[in-house]
């Protein structure tokens, strides 16, 4: 699926594929004016291995996703990403159901956790760079009724950690330290740095 390119500060000099169906990641790239195509990765998402850190897991998943898409689109620049929420090194993925969402949100309430996004960029020549960004997120103390009301909106269903900082779930967050876009799902500054260093994108005035 080709995105509708908006005017923005950057332009792509090579075909780019976003290997993710996340509308949040798609919007972050669209806002920069970069043209790209969305090809959802078919890679499976295995559970974390014993002792695997949230950073290592997110990077492994991001590379698996990017590599699967690159195998189908070998002549294009592929971006794969995976975002996880971690509390005391416990990796929280997407909730299985509303009960699981309440468990996650209750555990996060009033505490500081980390949001980790792994990103893997693979070039047509096979060159790849895989990295991760980590943001500390401080949550306010939320009552059980508040959490149940939030879960009833349906927003937590497909979100790592059962909340979306850019959506209704913004009321849950007291403060963050680090990249905001990382919490949304894609550390934009670092992605631009990599794409720019490889000559894949340039400022529109260049």
Q: What is the 3-state secondary structure (H, E, C) of 21-73?
A: CCHHHHHHHHCCCCCCEECCCCCCCCCCCCCCCHHHHHHHHHHHHHHHHHHHC
Owner of token pair 């559970």: 47
pLDDT in tens, 97-113: 999 999 999 999 999 99
Q: Which residues are catalytic?
A: 82
Whether the predicted pLDDT of 1 surpasses 80: no
Token digits for 91? 């990796």
CA distance 48 to 59: 11
Range of the domain at 84: 10-203
Cβ atoms of 97 and 75 within 8 Å: the answer is no
The backbone torsions φ and ψ at residue 52, rounded to the nearest 5 degrees and listed phi first, read -75, 130
Interval 117-161: pLDDT, tens: 999 999 999 999 999 999 999 999 999 999 999 999 999 999 999
Strands, E assignment, 56-158: 77-87, 90-92, 112-122, 128-139
Contact 54, 116 (CB under 8 A): yes
Query: How do residues 26-64 score in pLDDT, each as one tens digit?
Result: 999 999 999 999 999 999 989 899 999 999 999 999 999
Within-domain flag for 3: no
| Residue 90 maps to a domain | yes
Say if 5 falls within a structural domain: no
Find, among 78, 62, 17, the residue nearest to 185 by Cα: 62
pLDDT band of 2, cuts 50, 70, 90: low
| Per-residue pLDDT at 75 exceeds 60 | yes
pTM for this predicted structure: 0.92
Is 4 among the domain residues?
no
Q: Is residue 169 part of a domain?
A: yes
CATH of residue 133:
3.90.950.10
Model confidence band, residue 4 (pLDDT cutoffs 50, 70, 90): low
CB burial class (10 A; 0-12, 13-18, 19+) of residue 185? Answer: buried
153: in domain? yes
pLDDT tens digits for range 85-96: 999 988 998 999
Q: Is residue 181 part of a domain?
A: yes
Residue for token pair 């890679």: 43
What is the structure's pLDDT at 205? 84
Residue 1, domain member (yes or no):
no
Number of domains in the chain: 1
Q: What is the mean pLDDT of the chain?
A: 95
């Amino acid at each position: 699926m080709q995105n509708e390119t908006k005017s923005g500060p950057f332009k792509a000099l090579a075909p780019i594929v976003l290997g993710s169906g996340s509308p949040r990641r798609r919007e972050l790239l669209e806002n920069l004016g970069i043209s790209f195509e969305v090809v959802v990765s078919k890679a499976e998402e295995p559970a974390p291995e014993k002792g695997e850190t949230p950073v290592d897991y997110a990077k492994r998943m991001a590379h698996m996703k990017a590599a699967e898409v690159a195998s189908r689109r070998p002549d294009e620049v592929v971006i794969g990403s995976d975002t996880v929420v971690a509390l005391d090194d416990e990796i929280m993925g997407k909730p299985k159901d509303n009960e699981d969402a309440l468990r996650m949100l209750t555990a996060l309430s009033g505490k500081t956790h980390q949001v980790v996004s792994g990103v893997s960029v693979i070039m047509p020549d096979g060159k790849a760079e895989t990295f991760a960004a980590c943001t500390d997120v401080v949550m306010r103390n939320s009552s059980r009724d508040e959490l149940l009301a939030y879960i009833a909106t349906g927003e937590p269903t497909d979100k790592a950690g059962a909340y979306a900082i850019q959506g209704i779930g913004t009321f849950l967050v007291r403060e963050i330290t680090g990249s905001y876009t990382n919490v949304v799902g894609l550390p934009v500054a670092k992605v631009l740095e990599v794409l720019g260093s490889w000559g894949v994108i340039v400022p529109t005035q260049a």
